[in-house]
Amino acid sequence: MEIRDPIHGNIAVGPVEERIIDTPEMQRLRYIKQLDLSYLVFTGANNTRFEHSLGTMQVCKDLFLGALGRDEAEFSYVGLLHDIGHGPFSHLSEPYIERAIGKNHEQLGEERIRTSEISDIISDSGMSLNKILAYFRGSEKINVVGGALGADRIDYLMRDSLYTGVAYGIIDYDRLKTRLVLYKGRVAVLESGISGAESMLIARYFMHSNVYMHHAKVIAAQMLGKAMGMAVTERAIEPREMWDMTDEELLISLRKSGIKAVEDLTRRVVERRLYKRAYDGPIGPGVTLDEVKRAAGRAGLDDSEFIAHVIKLGGDTDDITVVDRDGRRVGKLTEVSPFIKTLMDVLARKRLIVACDRKNVAKLRAAVAKVV
Amino acid sequence: MEIRDPIHGNIAVGPVEERIIDTPEMQRLRYIKQLDLSYLVFTGANNTRFEHSLGTMQVCKDLFLGALGRDEAEFSYVGLLHDIGHGPFSHLSEPYIERAIGKNHEQLGEERIRTSEISDIISDSGMSLNKILAYFRGSEKINVVGGALGADRIDYLMRDSLYTGVAYGIIDYDRLKTRLVLYKGRVAVLESGISGAESMLIARYFMHSNVYMHHAKVIAAQMLGKAMGMAVTERAIEPREMWDMTDEELLISLRKSGIKAVEDLTRRVVERRLYKRAYDGPIGPGVTLDEVKRAAGRAGLDDSEFIAHVIKLGGDTDDITVVDRDGRRVGKLTEVSPFIKTLMDVLARKRLIVACDRKNVAKLRAAVAKVV
Amino acid sequence: MEIRDPIHGNIAVGPVEERIIDTPEMQRLRYIKQLDLSYLVFTGANNTRFEHSLGTMQVCKDLFLGALGRDEAEFSYVGLLHDIGHGPFSHLSEPYIERAIGKNHEQLGEERIRTSEISDIISDSGMSLNKILAYFRGSEKINVVGGALGADRIDYLMRDSLYTGVAYGIIDYDRLKTRLVLYKGRVAVLESGISGAESMLIARYFMHSNVYMHHAKVIAAQMLGKAMGMAVTERAIEPREMWDMTDEELLISLRKSGIKAVEDLTRRVVERRLYKRAYDGPIGPGVTLDEVKRAAGRAGLDDSEFIAHVIKLGGDTDDITVVDRDGRRVGKLTEVSPFIKTLMDVLARKRLIVACDRKNVAKLRAAVAKVV
Amino acid sequence: MEIRDPIHGNIAVGPVEERIIDTPEMQRLRYIKQLDLSYLVFTGANNTRFEHSLGTMQVCKDLFLGALGRDEAEFSYVGLLHDIGHGPFSHLSEPYIERAIGKNHEQLGEERIRTSEISDIISDSGMSLNKILAYFRGSEKINVVGGALGADRIDYLMRDSLYTGVAYGIIDYDRLKTRLVLYKGRVAVLESGISGAESMLIARYFMHSNVYMHHAKVIAAQMLGKAMGMAVTERAIEPREMWDMTDEELLISLRKSGIKAVEDLTRRVVERRLYKRAYDGPIGPGVTLDEVKRAAGRAGLDDSEFIAHVIKLGGDTDDITVVDRDGRRVGKLTEVSPFIKTLMDVLARKRLIVACDRKNVAKLRAAVAKVV
């Protein structure tokens, strides 16, 4: 079977992969947006985890066949399945689900595979289920899917650039994929691929600061997160039920939760009547989010009336080894590339966003200014 | 304000347009997919009526400013608002809503504008509400939005091509837009733009036969349509309430309708367990759809167990006048272009699709073969 | 080795292919433009036969590996070498060279391969030189390179669209290449690929009428052709020497030919001071080009003062067989597709272009009007 | 008039601009490649200074109309004319011409305008010739054409990316152009455009290290430069005549120069039989190019048998001021952006390339290793 894809053209799907795709667990990913509420800012950003899962599978195959020279079946299944544990709006619901259930989306991914037909399909195919589940348990050494130059990231940068219309994430994938190799069982980059790796990691940073962390998107996400948190705390929604929902099912549930603050917040998000920024900038090294929240409280705002969120990108870019044509280690990319060294510093920065209804912005701004 | 768009780059939005966009009626279009269930076949086809409405507004401005040389404010509002009357899944729900309410999506568009804040925003801006509503009443002569070479079509062809990954709809918009003029108050094409017009009309045909009328999409749509029809007939869903729903709200309502056949059909669609084709081909000139349905009945299939649908593209391409550089009429495009003449014939053809559960395909195939 | 290409991304080049590419005969193609004088109209159209040769090789590999399931080495060499026989400005110099030498560019291609190191490289590689030369002799049955849906055409449509900026030639190559098969030793198209084939053949027509046969390009080409013809006739340039020239070497030779009319015409072309149209339209069925030329003579114009040229696209589109999934013949594409039927008629049309210096346009127009 | 362009779509050309474009001095730029010998490495890189001149004019208009809010006629002429002073292969011939004539390409640009019909066309149009010539004299303050974020650079990054097929230079031009403003008469960037400016400057660096300074291109350029230098020194070619040549005219002249070393070097370049690298890496801070050349001499290589070249990108990126929404200075981009700070350091690095015929590589490598 072939599936038409705006990024990869035709994605060839083998019979086992087709059986996996046909399960309700995979079909559900059609209803989980890749970029949660980014569509409120970038109107084309309606792309889903489903197409990204297919794309990640394709990149896994490209990398294994083209560059890494390894048997690929299990890895392409990992690429296909890597997002299966997500709740509605992916990372947005994850903390609330994790707090209630005690598992993150990768651990829940393992659970979803084990408890569904998917594990049977894999076992029937003669592949090693354990080898696949190792990815979800974090015990898989090869970082082809999840690494700093992994298939997940390669696919989403290209895909999100297309749908948002923001060109920063256009990476030179054709070129990069010929420059990746395995070194001691992990994805490494050839010297001739340093520009490709630099370019991709910087592209990701630009996508983060311009798209993924666009202030209006962060505010919308925090508003909806607050609604989710309240709904879970007050047991208006059972966490396990929430985990199984699609994006829209959650929006509908929240709007019918019976809790006024939850319903109001959700309606504001859906109709894009978002909080306005009272603060958007650096946060002092010793300042905690709790202090910011207390300051808001002193300004007379109830916890449900504002959002305060600290963004820290963090960095796993120290992960990448550069090797020469003969397969010898040249060094870490952070040592070899001054850009990536700088990127590490930039990624370590913290940014605080505080927002509330327009009518309270002035007093919240004054209160926050005193503590940051 | 500027909105980032994958097709047009930056779409500039004026203050009045921004107020219109901010209404719940326009925001709702974020949750109505442009291509109803096409995402089940083309995994990227999650684009919405919202972005298309913005894009249509942009094309209206391009055409009026660039080529047609007319004041454009009302027309850009028409471009922005032209899809506001749609129910969930746009054209898919339209017949059920129209049958129950007695209004098509354009008449309902007028209603939505009149009964919402939108009419006040327009009146406040000093524009003529009547001039805008004329479009919805079908009494507007200028076919800049809805015509064969209109802004609606220009935007959706480019947009749907991008998201489906099917290149057929890529039209040479930059070139075409300099070749359109007004002739006797209607959009016409210059002689030097004949290729552009031909190319666009043929592109639309290819998109129809390959994307919009892809057999699996048609089957999914007919399955969901059948579910809608039953739900409305049995008053499990009030038609006016259905009209206000988003795509996902409808899917959820149908799955909770309390009518087993409705719930089953909807779940099959959502999980992509679609009917298989028993017939896909021409239908004899004298054969009616009812005869096909009766044949299925004789084969032992209940009305809820199969879909039978006749597709006829039809054509409004006889609409276009070709004019020379001095503004003189050269002829109709159908007279001047042998391709468009042929296209008219092709568009007049009828295609019948009949499908059912895999287990009944053989007997349904035999039954249909006897009548078509 | 890998070569970076704007159309195909990375083109992988094997060791034998690399040796062929490194010959002066292949390197010379870097200096032969793909679209002769089109760069005077489409400023980006500086693409060369060299990159097109690499691209055609790549498409041959894609088709053979992807779709046609045959061993491909000889065919990729044919793709790489198919344009090697061209003189300067390719088809533009061909009639003058053919008239003088008695061989067309394919027969000359055979000669260039035979008399250069290329034949040794091929023989050393263990491939069959005869199998490759069969293409140039026209005795090769498989139409993978030169056929209506062949690699030559696929590559140049995509490539010329990119460089001219005219979108008509964008074909859905990813899709098409999975829909071609071999039927009785020739390239055929699957039923599911009819749209792809139609789209490509129509795309070629639009590229012809809008780009390849753009009136200013045709005029420039005829002016330069006239200069070439005079230079060869008067032996200012030896035909065999002309055949070995690059585009620019020919332009320089013509401008130093010592024949004033040749030098003037060439300088006018280089500096883009082109003749203006006195006529551009259909030519009566019984009218010959000689009659037109005599009419110009009667108007007082010397043969070197005007150009008159009849364009007839012609069509090899009756070549394509449609087959079903089981490999059975469905019919000819011209029978199955009304668009291709129409295309055949359109391609059979003749168009006459007559042009001269601006100062003589009026009288030439009058003279031509009497005979066409 | 409209000119079709692969980057900008349609470029509108006004009557005065059209007259300028029609001069032989502008038409000549059709025969000067934008990227000199890069086509030997990137087979699509046949783009010319002509199309880039049109593109730069277009960007000037976009920036002035869209963002900078100033009357634009003179500036669009500067954009159109900015490369008119170039000799064959642009920057490659510049040092030899400058050494002989005492003027760089901008001073020669002024000369070409003054001594051709172009100055009359401009004066006739009522524009200020002096205002335009100020650019060529370096006395123009506004850096819209030549600055770090200027139209020249914006156009060539996008254009060179397209033709080379290397994605690094794809910049988000639609977005960037709305983020540039004038500050104290110079192009500055808004805070909201910092990512855009960073991205563009980093893109330029990647294009430099991967395309413009690709080792094979540098070697080819140095080989041809050596041939030019010898030909000029020995007066085989008059410098003023060389200045007027096109790329191909120069190649032909060099191959007929009568100086064997010049002819051999040029033929090697044309047929792509390039020198191989003996060294490609950093050069010690105290080491001069002369020391490297002397080392080659000691290894027994004549000056015509090797090339040695030091690349230093240098940086004018300290030029850019960041301003806030109210037009107030925020700081220099190098202060505000850690990436641009790092870029400055990277751009200050020196890289030495030494190359010779394959047979001498080993001994040259040994000799160079001792001194760098």
Distance from CA of C62 to the nearest CA of D (A): 19
Percentage of residues of chain C with pLDDT beyond 90: 76
**pLDDT, average across residues D135-164:** 89
A2 and C CB contact within 8 Å? yes
Could C178 and A9 be called an inter-chain contact, meaning their C-beta atoms sit closer than 8 Å? Answer: no
Query: D291-350 pLDDT, tens per residue?
Result: 999 999 999 999 989 999 999 877 666 679 999 999 999 999 999 999 999 998 898 899
Q: Which of D1, D5, D7, D10 to mutate to test the interface with B (most CBs of B within 10 A)?
A: D10
Is pLDDT above 70 for D214? yes
Name A257's Cβ contacts closer than 8 Å, sequence gap at least 6: A231, A236, A237, A263
**SS3 letters across chain D:** CEEEECCCEEEECCHHHHHHHCCHHHHHHHHCECCHHHHHCCCCCCCEHHHHHHHHHHHHHHHHHHHHCCCCHHHHHHHHHCCCCCCCCHHHCHHHHHHHHCCCHHHHHHHHHHCCHHHHHHHHCCCCHHHHHHHHHCCCCCCCCCCCCCHHHHHHHHHHHHHHCCHHHCCCHHHHCCCEEEECCEEEEEHHHHHHHHHHHHHHHHHHHHHHCCHHHHHHHHHHHHHHHHHHHCCCCCHHHHHHCCHHHHHHHHHCCCCHHHHHHHHHHHCCCCCEEEEEEECCCCCCHHHHHHHHHHCCCCHHHEEEEEEECCCCHHHCEEECCCCCEEEEHHHHCHHHHHHHHHHCCEEEEEEECHHHHHHHHHHHHHHC
Distance from CA of D167 to the nearest CA of C (A): 9
pLDDT level of residue A71 (50, 70, 90 thresholds)? low
Interface of D with A in 336-355 (CB under 8 A): 338-339, 341-343, 345-346
Q: Which of B13, B58, B171, B175 to mutate to test the interface with D (most CBs of D within 10 A)?
A: B175
Question: Is A254 in contact with A225 (CB distance < 8 Å)?
Answer: no
Residues in chain B within 8 Å Cβ distance of D4: 175
B39 and A CB contact within 8 Å? yes
Cα–chain center distance at D323: 29
Tabulate helix, strand, coil % of chain C (nearest 5): 60, 15, 30
Instruction: For residue A278, give the H/E element and its range.
Output: strand A276-282
Is pLDDT above 70 for C65? no
By mean pLDDT, which of B102-111, C167-176, C185-194, D51-60 is the weakest?
A: C167-176
Q: DSSP letters along A151-204, please?
A: HHHHHHHHHHHHHHT-GGG---HHHHTTSEEEETTEEEEEGGGHHHHHHHHHHH
Q: Which residue is it, tokens 């705390």? A: A233
Chain A nearest-CA residue for C10:
A174
Distance from CA of B328 to the nearest CA of D (A): 21
A2 and B CB contact within 8 Å? no
Query: C92-108 pLDDT, tens per residue?
Result: 999 999 999 999 999 99
The β-bridge partners of A11 are A3
Which candidate, D150, D156, D142, D152, places its Cα nearest to that of D176?
D150
Fill in the amino acid letter for B126: G
Which candidate, A171, A167, A164, A191, places its Cα nearest to that of A179?
A191
Which candidate, B86, B59, B89, B97, places its Cα nearest to that of B75?
B59
Could C40 and D22 be called an inter-chain contact, meaning their C-beta atoms sit closer than 8 Å? Answer: no
Is pLDDT above 90 for D160? yes
Percentage of residues of chain B with pLDDT beyond 90: 76
Which candidate, C190, C368, C207, C198, places its Cα nearest to that of C289?
C368
**pLDDT, average across residues A203-225:** 94
Q: Give the count of beta carbons closer than 10 Å to the beta carbon of residue C103.
A: 16
Q: Could you give the CA distance from residue C114 to residue C129 in angstroms, rounded to a whole number?
A: 9
Question: Is A242 in contact with A328 (CB distance < 8 Å)?
Answer: no
Distance from CA of C339 to the nearest CA of D (A): 28
**pLDDT, average across residues C275-289:** 94
Is pLDDT above 80 for C367? yes
Question: Is C188 in contact with C320 (CB distance < 8 Å)?
Answer: yes
**pLDDT, average across residues B285-300:** 95
**pLDDT, average across residues A312-321:** 75
pLDDT given for residue D174 in this prediction: 85
Q: Could you give the CA distance from residue A200 to residue A148 in angstroms, rounded to a whole number?
A: 9
Fill in the amino acid letter for D236: A
pLDDT given for residue B313 in this prediction: 78
* Closest residue to C202, CB basis, from B166, B202, B345: B202
Is pLDDT above 80 for D67? no
- What is the ipTM metric for this complex? 0.92
pLDDT level of residue C1 (50, 70, 90 thresholds)? confident
Q: Could you give the CA distance from residue C223 to residue B254 in angstroms, rounded to a whole number?
A: 71
* Closest residue to D178, CB basis, from B2, B174, B175: B2
A38 and B CB contact within 8 Å? no
B325 and D CB contact within 8 Å? no
Fill in the amino acid letter for B118: I
B208 and C CB contact within 8 Å? no
Distance from CA of C211 to the nearest CA of D (A): 11
- Count CA within 13 A, CB hemisphere, residue D89: 23
Could D174 and B2 be called an inter-chain contact, meaning their C-beta atoms sit closer than 8 Å? Answer: no
Question: Is B190 in contact with B323 (CB distance < 8 Å)?
Answer: yes
A210 and D CB contact within 8 Å? yes
Residues in chain D within 8 Å Cβ distance of A168: 172, 195, 199
Is pLDDT above 80 for B348? yes
Fill in the amino acid letter for D177: K
Q: Where are the beta strands (DSSP E) in B283-371?
A: 306-312, 321-323, 329-332, 350-356
pLDDT given for residue B65 in this prediction: 66
Vertex A356: Cα angle to A352 and A361 (nearest 5): 95
Distance from CA of B160 to the nearest CA of D (A): 21
By mean pLDDT, which of A200-209, D44-53, D167-176 is the weakest?
A: D167-176
pLDDT given for residue C167 in this prediction: 80
Query: B229-253 pLDDT, tens per residue?
Result: 999 999 999 999 999 999 999 999 9
**pLDDT, average across residues A1-23:** 94
Residues in chain D within 8 Å Cβ distance of C165: 4-7, 9
Name B205's Cβ contacts closer than 8 Å, sequence gap at least 6: B313, B343, B346, B347
Question: Is C229 in contact with C214 (CB distance < 8 Å)?
Answer: no
The β-bridge partners of D181 are D188
Angle between helices A49-62 and A151-164 (to 10 degrees): 130
**Predicted model pTM:** 0.93
Distance from CA of C178 to the nearest CA of A (A): 9
Eight-state DSSP code of residue B66: I
pLDDT level of residue C154 (50, 70, 90 thresholds)? very high
pLDDT given for residue C24 in this prediction: 96
Percentage of residues of chain D with pLDDT beyond 70: 96
Q: Could you give the CA distance from residue A148 to residue A203 in angstroms, rounded to a whole number?
A: 12
Q: Which of A13, A25, A43, A47 to mutate to test the interface with B (most CBs of B within 10 A)?
A: A43
Strands C321-323 and C186-190: parallel
Question: Is D77 in contact with D127 (CB distance < 8 Å)?
Answer: yes
A358 and B CB contact within 8 Å? no
Instruction: For residue B96, give the H/E element and its range.
Output: helix B94-101
Is pLDDT above 70 for B192? yes
Residues in chain A within 8 Å Cβ distance of B207: none
Residues in chain B within 8 Å Cβ distance of C169: none
